[in-house]
Structure 1
Amino acid sequence: MTTHSEVLADLAALRAQLRDRGSEHLALLRLTPWRPLVDTAVDWVLVVACIHAVVVLGPWFAPAAIVIIANRQRALGNILHDAGHRNLCRNKHWNDLMARAFLAPLLFASLSGYREAHFRHHLELGTRSGDPDLLPIPEHWPKHWSASYWRNILCWSTWKGSFAGHLASQDVSLPAKFFILGWWVLVLVALNELAGAEFTATFVLLWLAARATVFHAITTFREMCDHFGLRPSGILSFTRDMVCHGVWRVLIHPRNNGYHLTHHLLPAVPYYRLPQAQRLFEQMPAYRDHATMCRSYFSGTKAVTRAWQAGAAR
């Protein structure tokens, strides 16, 4: 089990090596506030386009719409994650205003609740009592990784969190939940006035259907990519970077979300600079000698899924 001191030791080792190289890493911390605004707008437009397509073309387009919407829900969640670290804008008031207006309630999330839980994940990484994102570690690993995946995807509490977000959380205050519900009431009333009852009903049905199915499947797989199958003993031993490309990355890890180890090592790097940060970290002995980096999801001896089954080195 990871200890707080092991987390801090990994952070200190990498950051000392970065400082030894000078100020090269400081460019990674620069924020471009218009970038998350544009990305959020693109995601909203894609969701609206999917709803419009189902209304116009009919229910046969609904399965494709659900996949696209779920993928955009995942992408918006990644921008919310940056908002939790105040990586949208260094002005904390503008950062939080954007998140509360366009991101958090849309995803059934309280920004304050998300930030508190996520910071615990960083500081108490891998501890059973402190890490809210820790997936259960099986006593006996299955012969095939899919059994591990199905065990997690069929977990009631995990599905409930994917579907209802903080509305189903006992750790989030009642006023925060009322804020989420109030935001939804205002948005749906406005949408009904602007686009009509059919469009509004279709939006609600597809949004909820996506969260209940494909979003949950993607999020569970993504959570397993982050840490599952690794040994809890500090950041470097318990966190992966998914340096993958192609359609699976687009589906599972939009907005560079697969660079999870890089993020844990330097959380102030915004999502659009994570690939650049990872390439710099590869030159650091702490990362080069100890990091877990996967370049495939399913194929090859170093595919991430191989760590979720019996026979993997741990």
Structure 2
Amino acid sequence: MIENDIKKIRESVRKESINQDISILTKPSRYKSPAYVFICWGVIFASVGLVDVLGYQFIVFSIIVCSVGQRAIGNLLHDASHYSLITSRPLAKWFSNLFLAIPTGQLFCDYQKVHLAHHRYLGDHMLDNDFIHDIELSKRSALHIYARTLLRCKIFMGTCFSDLIGTNIKLQSCFIIWWVVFLMLCDFISPTFAYSFVVVWLISRFTFFYLITVFRELTDHFGLEPGGVFSFTRNAPCKGILRFLIHPLNNGYHLTHHLYPHVPWYNLPKAHKLLLKLELYANAEHCDSYFSGKESVLYSWKN
């Protein structure tokens, strides 16, 4: 079914004569995404600096900002796994490991292998590592669905600790070395900056980052029917500040991404707009809000 859906959308794109337009959108900018990697780290540094300079009365704001920065780093690693961040494969691996994967407890090749399997085996409860599907749970309230998912130990460990739990000595060694060197460099900024960074980073990771990541995971596929890309994937191109908190860097265009995984994050809205010309795509699951209305994500979880 996955292959059939991809084949159908390719045929529809050719019939509508927008295949060349889509093809152009798959070509990544040489500088845009790498620049955003440093912007994301800059946002995280600024959130820590706010606490370090002005005091812990700003800790809640800093945690929210840092969490969104962590979420955006994950999105950029996601793009990198499709070589939409940097097209040179050796450079993509090196750059992504150094600035995206290792500091968040992952290795690029391991992440890529798991993520590409999610695309290939979408909706397969044995082979899709991101599979979250529970018919009985979908009959409950949206709050119950969210709370039950939050309390699943496997999801908590995988989200907060990534791949650090286990016997991957190479990853664990790289992670420790990266953070030791990084915190030594932070110490040059200010004697207390390294301490503040650890505090803000860890609290963010285990609180707001976890909350928005679980919501985002449910938004992608929960409540839909496994078996194909269209039946088991939704778009949530919502607008407003919530979009930047939950889906930074256009991460809500999940159906668009599954159909055209090589389109970089900054071109997803353009690809979405083009694909809406196709009846097959326009009739798919598109949510225009997170919480209210029949076109909302919460309504889609249960319907």
The question of a shared fold, defined as TM-score above 0.5 by the shorter chain, is answered with yes
| Counterpart position of 1:81 | 78
CA deviation vs aligned residue, 1:92-147 (integer Å, no higher than 9, x gap):
11222221121111222211111010011001101110000011414253442010
CA distance in 2, matches of 1:129, 1:30: 33
In the TM superposition, residue 222 of structure 1 has moved relative to its aligned partner by 0.4
2:209 is aligned with what amino acid?
A: F
Q: Which runs of 5+ in 2 are unaligned?
A: none
1:180 to 175, 182, 197: 175
| Counterpart position of 2:229 | 235
2:246 to 246, 252, 255: 252
> Retained in 1: the 8 A contact 2:85–2:264?
yes
CA distance in 1, matches of 2:232, 2:68: 26
> Retained in 1: the 8 A contact 2:105–2:171?
no
CA distance in 1, matches of 2:138, 2:131: 17
- TM-score, normalising length: structure 2: 0.95
| Regions of 4+ moved over 6 Å | none
CA distance in 2, matches of 1:232, 1:155: 21
CA distance in 1, matches of 2:301, 2:255: 18
| Counterpart position of 1:163 | 160
| Counterpart position of 1:3 | none
In the TM superposition, residue 79 of structure 1 has moved relative to its aligned partner by 0.5
- TM-score, normalising length: structure 1: 0.92
> Retained in 2: the 8 A contact 1:80–1:104?
yes
1:274 to 268, 286, 289: 268
| Counterpart position of 2:11 | 16
| Counterpart position of 2:25 | 28
CA distance in 2, matches of 1:211, 1:155: 16
Classify 1:143/1:129 alpha carbon distance in 2 versus 1 (closer, same or farther; 3 Å): closer
CA deviation vs aligned residue, 1:30-54 (integer Å, no higher than 9, x gap):
2112111221111111111111111
Deviates more, 1:55-64 or 1:22-31: 22-31
Q: Which runs of 5+ in 1 are unaligned?
A: 1-5
1:47 is aligned with what amino acid?
A: I
Deviates more, 1:244-253 or 1:138-147: 138-147
In the TM superposition, residue 206 of structure 1 has moved relative to its aligned partner by 0.9
| Counterpart position of 1:294 | 287
| Counterpart position of 2:109 | 112
CA distance in 1, matches of 2:299, 2:150: 17
| Counterpart position of 1:308 | 301
CA distance in 1, matches of 2:104, 2:30: 21
CA distance in 2, matches of 1:197, 1:163: 27
2:85 is aligned with what amino acid?
A: L
CA distance in 1, matches of 2:92, 2:168: 21
CA deviation vs aligned residue, 1:38-88 (integer Å, no higher than 9, x gap):
211111111111111111211111111001000110011100100111111
Count of aligned residue pairs for this structure pair: 301
Percentage of identical aligned residues: 34
> Retained in 2: the 8 A contact 1:110–1:180?
no
> Retained in 1: the 8 A contact 2:133–2:223?
no
